Amino acid sequence: MSKAAKVVASIAVDDLTQRQAKAEHKRLGEEIRHHDVLYHEKDAPEISDAAYDKLRVRLKAIEARFPELVDSDSPTQHVAPTPTTAFAKVRHTRPMLSLDNAFTDEELQAFIDRVRRVLERETDLKPDAEIALSCEAKIDGLSISLRYEDGEFVQGATRGDGTTGEDVTPNLMTIKDIPHKLKGRGVPKAFDVRGEVYMERKAFQEMNRRQEAAGEKVFANPRNAAAGSLRQLDSGITATRPLRFFAYAWGEAEPRAWKTHSEYLKLLKEWGFKTNPLTRLCRTPDEVRAFYREIGAERPSLPYDIDGVVYKVDRIDWQERLGFVSRAPRWAIAHKFPAEQARTRLNGINIQVGRTGALTPVAELEPVNVGGVMVARATLHNADEIERLDVRVGDMVTIQRAGDVIPQVLGYVPEERPKKTEKYRFPTKCPCPLKTEVKSEEGGVVRRCSGGLECPFQQVERLRYFVSRNCFDIEGLGGTHIENFFNDGLLKIPGDIFRLPERVDEIRKREGWGDLSVRNLVSAIEARRTISLDRFINALGIPLIGEATAKILAQEYGDADDWLAEMLKAARERKKHPEDVKKEKAATEVGESYGRLCNIEQIGVTTADAMCEFFSEGHNIEIIRDLRRQLTVEAVKRRVIAADAPLKDKIVVFTGELSTMTRDAAKARAEELGAKVTDSVSKKTSLVVVGENAGSKARKAAELGVQTLTEEEWVKLASC
């Protein structure tokens, strides 16, 4: 590389001039192509995967800043030669714990009292001695762990289940707040820095506007946007997202030179990390409460979302004495803020039609700022809720936003009700083009469009659901595209999605589509021609069958052909016995397949009946057959349980806090021993393991006479 090129290569993308960018773009393109040939054709790579990823990330970032440099030759315009299908798993050196919450002043006091009690018992703490707490704003983002070896960033992972996370190193490399090399003295040789990846509100709104303009996914809030951006398979995309990072904890740290948390925060800054300036060392409970109030008052004007304040015992030797219970430390707690509320005018009530025809009333509001986010719509849930609240168009209403929950209308302000308002009357005709009668569901609060499969609104919603994240997850085919394609006849049923690649010429002619976006769409569709059975089941949008039930069904039947054959059989059996199974007949008497379905733990007669109804419709079966002709549905790898497994066929429930292992580890161990682990206690439960502070499940087990074990007995039984 020439001297000049070397200089340009060391300049941050944000600081490149147009001319430098052009030269650097050319150089990177050539270099990547050179390494592609070495890797793919000669099987003789010269650089590590991480170094290669870095080149691609930089190239993408340059193209994001200077889009005019993108040309068809650029490596970014070809599918990455080694596409990552999923992230590799990373086991954390120390578990990533979560925090207990305090919602009230009493709960905060209980935390402080408990800390004092334990320390007085276990150390020489005097009754009136101070316990300093490091108090920090609680950022609403996602926590990650960064591994540094000899001061060099080598790997970064998401929290995952606390024990194992996902390797997102190339993506984290694109975040400018994360140093690649630590500076200063005293950096531990083997070191995990932990903290929060987040997005500032303003940057989030701008990003959403860009996404919307490009017909791409729009995120509900900064936290989702941060999580979605970090979990991109293409780190070039992450590089274009405005992600930030605050450091606030550690995992392994060998050798560790600091004795207090506040000392650690200072060191982090020296080493090159950003730490949250909203941090204070408080020495008395009054100081702690004052800090909480101050931060609460500042909250609406902060550039990022926070959802509370975290208090941590400052002295690390005390933290070690306090230890942790279950998966949360006893030396820290999150003091949460109440949900954010605001008042605004209700301009109208619209009815939305969902994929199952359920009608949801939506409040159209005078836009208002609720804790930094503009809210113009809020859910009113259903007709009964409007009746209960008696909100009327023209009212001043109170709305609430809490975390990522959809904003809700809480009620109206009586003193501000205009003179002439009318009680809201729920429409009797559906707003869909069919203008069908609205049916009230017997006993239920839901009202539905009676257009069923014919209703175009429902058809569009079903297609949207089909491509959504937990189903087929087809990127680049957003809600607006689905609607437009549907209206123009390109899409009617799910199988049509997989015929879109044959219609690229038509799509390319449409407004907003170019060569690149069409190519990306086609590769996103092709990538989903193979799908797991649970996603396949979930995507069908069968009433009452969501992600969790789809997983259970996939586990039980294992393979798409078996599942389909069994469902068709169950539906036929059910048809022959139209009487109410709950009262008249036991499910197993109706038929073998129907009985099997009803007897799956966590599926009951109601869910089974919804399934049978779905499988009695010829149209639905046609949709599935059409998909099966075009897709490969992967069979589930089933756990093989030895015939002599000690807990074979046993149904086990864990309740309360376990102190020697995490709940997930206990569950995994039980499953290894052949058990099925469920969440609720019923007559079918074989065994309940009761930890500390257990509540209703332990009581229920006693009532039903189900065998219970203490944690100690469980450990002995499971020898773990």
The residues assigned a catalytic role are: 138
Is residue 719 classed as helix, strand or coil in its secondary structure? coil
Nearer to ligand IVH, 158 or 468 (CB): 158
Q: Which of 338, 323, 387 is nearest to 361 (CA)?
A: 387
Q: Which of 27, 7, 79, 22 is nearest to 522 (CA)?
A: 79
Sheet holding 142-149, edge to edge: 152-158, 142-149, 190-199, 243-254
- β-strand 396-401 against 340-353: which pairing, if any? antiparallel
For residue 356, which phi and psi values (nearest 5 degrees)?
Answer: -100, 10
x/- contact string, 279-318, with ligand IVH (CB under 6 A)? Answer: -------------------------------x--------
Out of 199, 268, 334, 500, which residue is the one contacting ligand IVH (CB under 6 A)?
A: 334
Nearer to ligand IVH, 266 or 625 (CB): 266
Is residue 487 classed as helix, strand or coil in its secondary structure? helix
Nearer to ligand IVH, 143 or 221 (CB): 143
The span of 70-78, 96-104, 614-622, 655-663 binding ligand IVH (CB under 6 A) equals 96-104
Out of 61, 332, 553, 698, which residue is the one contacting ligand IVH (CB under 6 A)?
A: 332
Under the criterion CB under 6 A, does residue 136 sit at the interface with ligand IVH? yes
Three-state secondary structure of 110-153: HHHHHHHHHHHHHCCCCCCCCCCEEEEEEECCEEEEEEEECCEE
Nearer to ligand IVH, 139 or 430 (CB): 139
The span of 131-139, 342-350, 407-415, 656-664 binding ligand IVH (CB under 6 A) equals 131-139
Out of 57, 59, 90, 97, which residue is the one contacting ligand IVH (CB under 6 A)?
A: 97
Out of 56, 138, 462, 464, which residue is the one contacting ligand IVH (CB under 6 A)?
A: 138
Nearer to ligand IVH, 265 or 690 (CB): 265
Distance between CA atoms of residues 299 and 280, nearest Å: 16
Nearer to ligand IVH, 73 or 320 (CB): 320
Under the criterion CB under 6 A, does residue 188 sit at the interface with ligand IVH? no
Q: Which two tokens stand for residue 159?
A: 């929290």
Under the criterion CB under 6 A, does residue 200 sit at the interface with ligand IVH? no
Under the criterion CB under 6 A, does residue 597 sit at the interface with ligand IVH? no
Under the criterion CB under 6 A, does residue 99 sit at the interface with ligand IVH? yes
CB of 97 to ligand IVH, least distance (A): 4
Size of the site for ligand IVH (CB under 6 A): 14
Q: Which two tokens stand for residue 417?
A: 């009700």
Q: Which of 715, 681, 705, 682 is nearest to 695 (CA)?
A: 681
CB of 110 to ligand IVH, least distance (A): 18
Under the criterion CB under 6 A, does residue 53 sit at the interface with ligand IVH? no
Q: Scanning residues 213 to 252, which ones bind ligand IVH (CB under 6 A)?
A: 248-249
The span of 95-103, 385-393, 512-520, 669-677 binding ligand IVH (CB under 6 A) equals 95-103
Under the criterion CB under 6 A, does residue 319 sit at the interface with ligand IVH? no
Under the criterion CB under 6 A, does residue 329 sit at the interface with ligand IVH? yes
Beta strands per DSSP E along 559-710: 632-634, 651-655, 676-678, 687-690, 707-710
For residue 691, which phi and psi values (nearest 5 degrees)?
Answer: -90, -165
Nearer to ligand IVH, 313 or 533 (CB): 313
Distance between CA atoms of residues 83 and 157, nearest Å: 19
Under the criterion CB under 6 A, does residue 143 sit at the interface with ligand IVH? yes
Q: Which two tokens stand for residue 185?
A: 């003295």
Under the criterion CB under 6 A, does residue 260 sit at the interface with ligand IVH? no
Cβ atoms 687, 708 nearer than 8 A = yes
Under the criterion CB under 6 A, does residue 614 sit at the interface with ligand IVH? no
Is residue 629 classed as helix, strand or coil in its secondary structure? helix
CB of 310 to ligand IVH, least distance (A): 4
Cβ atoms 685, 659 nearer than 8 A = no
The span of 112-120, 208-216, 328-336, 413-421 binding ligand IVH (CB under 6 A) equals 328-336
Under the criterion CB under 6 A, does residue 278 sit at the interface with ligand IVH? no
- Is 107 exposed, middle or buried, given 0-12, 13-18 or 19+ CB atoms closer than 10 A? middle
Residues in the chain, total = 720
Under the criterion CB under 6 A, does residue 157 sit at the interface with ligand IVH? no
Nearer to ligand IVH, 13 or 139 (CB): 139
- Is 258 exposed, middle or buried, given 0-12, 13-18 or 19+ CB atoms closer than 10 A? middle
The dihedral built from the CA positions of residue 419, 425, 426 and 432, taken in this order, carries a sign that is: negative
| Tokens 């580890």, located at residue | 665
Binding site for ligand IVH (CB under 6 A): 97-99, 136, 138-139, 143, 196, 248-249, 310, 329, 332, 334
